[in-house]
Structure 1
């Protein structure tokens, strides 16, 4: 999966949060984490050592969200 493909698993909400719309497994340098549909990620919430909302925002800026 290309790194920007992760955007297809999330919806960016108007309040700035990212919400998972379909389950997948996130693999980082530190861990593999099952992300469930409906999970919400706000800035500062770290998952597997990664601020997922910030990462998704960066990808969205580069590739469109």
Structure 2
């Protein structure tokens, strides 16, 4: 099982990647990097919390594990 710190670092790196991609997508849709970045930040904030909670929940479920 991952430590809480490892879960946090995984969450942060995942969100950094998502933030960059969503900024590009948002900028492409809106024509504005600032607006695209705002959309990306809102998504990153909620996604960070959801991902961390999801990881911690699945860490408690034994189904599908070996050993």
TM-score normalised by the chain length of structure 2: 0.30
Q: Which has the larger radius of gyration?
A: 2
In proportion to residue count, which structure has more helix? 2
**Which protein is richer in strand relative to its size?**
1
